[in-house]
Amino acid sequence: MSKTLLVVHHTPSPFCQAMFEAVLAGATDPQIEGVEVVRRAALEVSASDMLAADGYVLGTPANLGYISGALKHAFDVCYYPILDSTRGRPYGLYLHGNEGTEGAERAVQSITTGLGWVKAADYVAISGKPGKPDLEACWELGATVAAQLMG
Ligand SMILES: Cc1cc2nc3c(=O)[nH]c(=O)nc-3n(C[C@H](O)[C@H](O)[C@H](O)COP(=O)(O)O)c2cc1C
């Protein structure tokens, strides 16, 4: 039976878009079999989307020392409906910021600890224009989380 990787992202700029596309490319690499990759904008994702997935990649800019309001909204809406039903599932995170992403990293660590999700790869945090190694790290992130879902 195929598994589902859900990419929940807030993508407000070309740099964030480049990271998002690199994550998707890694997650959909032909070597990864039996994993369907579903993408949802953070302002649109539902608890049903979250429950239907087997693993997650979260993507957001750092805003005002925290995750974007959009990703915060996703968890505001979904947190309690999925609590205890998604425990143990793997997840990854990519962040884009220009002034420091630590607050956003801490926020995701705290939210995912509450949910019982398991960090499947190092967080990818990028400042400024993403270079080739940065986009490769995003690719690796997508591939790593997707590979964990392979039978
Ligand atoms: C209201 C606002 C607050 C922001 N706060 C932070 C922040 O706390 N830390 C940070 O690293 N970047 C911050 N940024 C920069 C965004 O993370 C950045 O705009 C986003 O990642 C997109 O990157 P780009 O504008 O360079 O394309 C902020 C941007 C806005 C609009």
- Which residues are CB-neighbours of 48 under 8 A, at least 6 positions away? none
Q: Is 30 helix (H, G, I), strand (E, B) or coil?
A: coil
Does pLDDT of 9 surpass 90? yes
Does pLDDT of 108 surpass 90? yes
- Segment 12-39, tens digit of pLDDT: 999 999 999 999 999 999 999 999 999 9
Nearest to 117 by CA among 79, 150, 66: 79
CB distance 98 to ligand 1 below 6 Å: yes
- Segment 39-68, tens digit of pLDDT: 999 999 999 999 999 999 999 999 999 999
Cβ atoms of 147 and 120 closer than 8 Å: no
Pairing of strands 66-67, 55-63: antiparallel
CA distance 34 to 30: 10
Domains of the chain: residue spans and CATH: 3-149 (3.40.50.360)
Within its chain, how far is the Cα of 48 from the centroid?
A: 17
Structure tokens at 73: 């909204």
Structure tokens at 133: 């190694």
Cβ atoms of 55 and 5 closer than 8 Å: yes
pLDDT value for 151? 72
CB distance 100 to ligand 1 below 6 Å: yes
**Whole-number average pLDDT of the chain:** 97
CB distance 99 to ligand 1 below 6 Å: yes
CB distance 62 to ligand 1 below 6 Å: yes
pLDDT value for 65? 96
Pairing of strands 90-97, 118-119: parallel
CA distance 129 to 118: 29
The rounded Å distance from CA 1 to ligand 1 centre is 40
Select from 15, 72, 98 the residue to mutate for testing ligand 1; criterion: most ligand atoms less than 8 Å from CB. 98
CA distance 116 to 88: 6
- Segment 126-144, tens digit of pLDDT: 999 999 999 999 999 999 9
CB distance 64 to ligand 1 below 6 Å: yes
pTM recorded for the entire structure: 0.98
CA count, 13 A, side-chain hemisphere, 76: 10
